[in-house]
A and B are shown apart, each in its own frame.
Chain A
Amino acid sequence: DTGVSQDPRHKITKRGQNVTFRCDPISEHNRLYWYRQTLGQGPEFLTYFQNEAQLEKSRLLSDRFSAERPKGSFSTLEIQRTEQGDSAMYLCASSPKPFTQETQYFGPGTRLLVL
C-alpha cells in the first residue's frame, strides 16, 4: 500500500473559477477526512466521511464547498467560485474504522493558489 494520495499536488486558478481535488485513501480505511491549512496554522477540520456517508461538516465549509465520497473509496472536494481567501493547502487523511484505536494517515496535500 502506497498510502494516501492526492491529486493534483498544486493548483493555480483565477478568482471565480471552480476547482476539484481528489483524495485516494489507504484501501479498506473507512474514514476519510478533509482539512485546510494556511501558513503558520494547524490544519483546520472541514469534513469527514464514514464510508460514503458525510457525517460532519465544519462551519468553515461554506456553501461554495462540497465534498463527496460516492462509493466509499476515493473522495472529491470541490470549491466553486474560488476566492483569494481559499488559497491554502488542502489535506486529506484516512483512518481505519474506530472500534479500537484510530490513527490518521495524511496525504501530501494539494496546494491551491487563487489569483
Chain B
Amino acid sequence: GIQVEQSPPDLILQEGANSTLRCNFSDSVNNLQWFHQNPWGQLINLFYIPSGTKQNGRLSATTVATERYSLLYISSSQTTDSGVYFCAAGNQFYFGTGTSLTVIP
C-alpha cells in the first residue's frame, strides 16, 4: 500500500500562533483527506483535497500531487484545535501516524 509520512510528530503552540503540518505520500494518488481526531477519538473530516488549495475559516490545505505532498495550515490557533491531525491517501485511505497538536492558552 501507499506509505504516508507526516511531520512534525508533535507540535506545541501558544494560542494565536500559526502552524503548518506536512504529509508526504509515496505514490501518486487520486484521493487525499485531512482529519482531526479530538481527545475523545472522533475523527472529523477537514478537507478532501487530492490537488489544489482549499480554505475553511482558519484552516486551509494545499496538495501538490505531482510532488506527492500536502500541507495543512492552521492560523490563529485556538485551544480547541488540540488533538491529532491525520492525512489519508489512496483508494483505501491509508493513514499517516499523525501530528499531535497541543495549543496552550
Residues of A whose CB lies within 8 Å of any CB of B are 33, 35, 40-45, 48, 56, 58, 89, 91, 93, 98, 101-106, 108-109, 111
Given that A42-B86, A42-B96, A45-B92 are known contacts, is A104 also in contact with B1, CB under 8 Å in the complex? no
Q: 7 smallest A-B Cβ distances: which pairs? A: A42-B95, A106-B43, A45-B92, A103-B48, A43-B95, A42-B97, A42-B86
Across-interface contacts of A104 in B (CB, < 8 A): 33, 45, 88, 93
Interface residues of B in 66-105 (CB under 8 A from A): 86, 88, 92-98
Knowing A42-B98, A103-B48, A104-B33, say if A33 contacts B43 (CB, 8 Å).
no
Name the CB-closest residue of A to B95. Answer: A42
Give, as a whole number of angstroms, the nearest-CB distance from B18 to chain A: 24
In chain A, what residue has the closest Cβ to B84?
A42
Interface size class of B (residues with CB under 8 A): 20 to 34
Closest A residue by C-beta to B44: A106
Q: Does B45 lie within 8 Å of A41, measured CB to CB?
A: no
Please, which residues of chain A bring their CB within 8 A of the CB of B33? 103-104
The chain B residue sitting closest to A108, CB to CB, is: B42
Tell me the bound Cα distance from A6 to B86 in angstroms: 21
Picked from A33, A35, A41, A106, the residue with its CB within 8 Å of the CB of B42 is: A106
By beta carbon, the residue of chain A nearest B9 is A40
A-B contact pairs, 19 of them (CB 8 A): A42-B86, A42-B98, A43-B95, A44-B95, A45-B94, A56-B92, A91-B43, A93-B43, A98-B31, A102-B31, A103-B33, A103-B48, A104-B88, A106-B42, A108-B40, A108-B41, A109-B41, A109-B42, A111-B41
Are A33 and B41 interface neighbours, CB within 8 A?
A: no
Q: How far is the CA of A77 from the CA of B62 in the complex (A)?
A: 35
CB contact under 8 A between A103 and B41, given known A42-B97, A56-B92: no
In chain A, what residue has the closest Cβ to B100?
A: A40
Q: State whether B93 touches A105 (Cβ < 8 A).
A: no
